[in-house]
Amino acid sequence: MQTGLYAGRNNKVSPKHSEATESDSQWLPDANTLLPFSTSGRPKSSIDEHPIPKLMDAAETEFRKKLGGQSKTLKAAVTEYKKRYNRNPPKGFDEWWDFAQEHDVKMVDEYDGLVKDLAPFWELSGEELRRRTLQVGELPSIDVVRLRGGKSSAVTLHEDFEDSEGGARASGFRAMLEKFQNTLPDMDFPINAKAEGRVLVPWEHRNYPNMTLQDSSAGIEEMLGGPFEPDWQDEGNVWEAWRRTCVPTSAARRLFSSLRNSFSNQINNYLSASRSGPGSDFNFVPTTAATTLDFCSKPYAHYTQGHFFSDWRTIPALYPVFSPAKAQGFMDIRIPSHYYYGSTKRYTYGWDAVNLELKAVDDMDVPWEKKVDKVFWRGATTGGGSHPPGFSAQYQRHRFLRMASDTSAANRTITFADPPSSDNYISVPVPVSQLNEEIMDTAFVKAVSSESYPGGLEALMESHRFGDSVPLGEHWSYKYLIDLDGMGYSGRFMSFLASDSVPVKTTVYEEFYSDWIQPWVHFIPLSSAYNEIYNIHSFFSGATYSTLRAANSTQMHLPARRRRSISGDRRLRRIARAGKQWKQTMGRTIDMEVYVYRLCLEWARLWADDRDSMTFSL
């Protein structure tokens, strides 16, 4: 097994690396040192046009069109609603509109995701929905936000089960509706106490209702086919439950059921495979994998995502559960994360934990010109559950950290502008060990459930960089901030957007804001394989010294500041500014409240027996 940079218990990476020196003396050989590879006569490939500017320009055009097309009047908003969803808006839509206008909300029409989340529940009567709401609220790790007489409360109905995370998300959701709760009718919201998704309904039960019980009056045990246990124990796992949501003819459904880890003892081979092939490091995605990675047709890909190995049992029937995020196949209803809404020192940009106040500029942020041109990440070895154990080596965080810790002789193909800020791009193979030393500052800071890692703690620390914990503000010293999924969605994304750095986000989750934000405008999307991260850096920040040396470029004799791509850096800063502006104008706490308000109106209509009486028309 390969070793990582600064790997081992006694060789931790420092919490902050300085930028490469002007002379780059660490890479210049003395007269008695042979270069590890030849630079003479090295073949160079070229491209006519770099795809990143096109992706950025197309994304900006799409976002401007969406933003400019938002309704300006209540009449226009009602017309747009009827056009999109073929029905009238819910009762109270006019009050919601006034609330949104009062707070200068930019996105007033973009609620397709919310409507999609609620669509399956139109098939249930109001009575049936209310009954299922009460039943699911009594399950372990489900809390309930209850509205009665215009006042809300967060309650736990399952008193026999203690949950370390219980109540936090429910309390956050309750706070989000406090400003308008007196305008709402009585209703309940079952809130997921966990970050992981909870509802997975088999394909047959969704498409052939006669195959499953539709009347829940006999109780939830009858609906689920027996008592509900909070964790899987030895009775299945998330992947086996998830793949049943796929169409029966899909590859995932045709699989012979197995828990064998096909990646065991093949960690290095898998990583090498991800680098193989010409140009494999030069594929840039237009968006994150949340909507593009199809696990039904590519079931082998599920080994690379930790949410398929969660310990928490999923619910195999259509029950309403409100969760902070959802991956493909799950039928949870999205709500804003309590991490985004509240202020904490771990998740909030600009939070002064001493004076308990939120500042526009974080005390630890630095001007763009002083930010380090490196990719930064710190976090724990979470990323999924441990059921069954032995799969964590392929979870999203482990894969990225192992790639960024690689000290092997393997090459990455790097494409860069020569000379800088030109349209002349050349490609050369460069040792990944040197690239990681030059541009990566990533490390685990805490080993969680190390016993589930193949080889245990020793193997975990041997293959990944480890370092000391750092405050959230340490991130702002770097231009590139990697945003990786953990047990579920990443709770730090909003803070990354609020900073003057650039989030580079890879995720399989969609959240409440997914209709409002634009990849390549407000953040850089990264594929679930991560291969392109080195070429993302080379486009925006210019070639590193090892890349120039591999190409035998005359640029390698220039100081670092003159080798940077001026146009690339300007484009990168444009993304940083756009992300910050988005957070200040569309990712505010008031925008989250407006989203919840709209959700409450839709939910109130579904909750009612006479849904026609719960509509709004001019």
Tens digit of each residue's pLDDT (9 = 90 or more) over 196-211? 999 999 999 999 877 7
**What pTM value is reported for the model?**
0.90
> Where in the chain are the domains?
51-60+363-589, 88-279+316-339+591-609
**Is the pLDDT assigned to residue 471 strictly greater than 90?**
yes
Lowest mean per-residue pLDDT among 147-156, 269-278, 578-587: 269-278
- pLDDT band for position 234 (cuts 50, 70, 90): confident
512 vs 114, 222, 346, CA distance in Å? 8, 32, 21
Share of the chain above pLDDT 70, in %: 87
Which of the two residues, 30 and 75, has the higher pLDDT score?
Answer: 75
Q: Counting beta carbons within 10 angstroms of the beta carbon of residue 124, is it exposed (0 to 12), middle (13 to 18) or buried (19 or more)?
A: middle
Contact 68, 529 (CB under 8 A): no
- pLDDT band for position 255 (cuts 50, 70, 90): confident
What pLDDT is recorded for position 165?
Answer: 61
Class of domain 51-60+363-589: alpha beta
Give the number of other Cβ atoms within 10 Å of residue 552's Cβ.
14
Tokens of 528: 């679930």
For the chain, the maximum distance between any two Cα atoms, rounded to a whole number of angstroms, is 87
State the angle between helix axes of 126-136 and 589-607 in degrees (0 to 180), rounded to the nearest 10: 120
- pLDDT band for position 527 (cuts 50, 70, 90): very high
DSSP 8-state code for residue 191: E
Contact 179, 187 (CB under 8 A): no
What pLDDT is recorded for position 38?
Answer: 34
Rounded Cα distance, 388 and 366, in Å: 44
- pLDDT band for position 233 (cuts 50, 70, 90): confident
Q: Would you mind telling me the total number of residues written for the chain in this entry?
A: 618
Fill in the amino acid letter for 130.
Answer: R
Lowest mean per-residue pLDDT among 17-21, 59-63, 100-104, 191-195: 17-21
Share of the chain above pLDDT 90, in %: 76
Which of the two residues, 212 and 46, has the higher pLDDT score?
Answer: 212
Q: Is 370 helix (H, G, I), strand (E, B) or coil?
A: helix
Rounded Cα distance, 613 and 605, in Å: 8
Contact 496, 392 (CB under 8 A): no
- What pLDDT digit, counting tens, does each position of 335-387 carry? 999 999 999 999 999 999 999 999 999 999 999 999 999 999 999 999 899 99
Give the number of other Cβ atoms within 10 Å of residue 446's Cβ.
13
What pLDDT is recorded for position 479?
Answer: 98
Contact 147, 597 (CB under 8 A): no
Among 402-411, 448-457, 560-569, the range with the most confident prediction by mean pLDDT is 402-411
- What pLDDT digit, counting tens, does each position of 295-322 carry? 999 999 999 999 999 999 999 999 999 9
Average pLDDT estimate for 80-97: 98
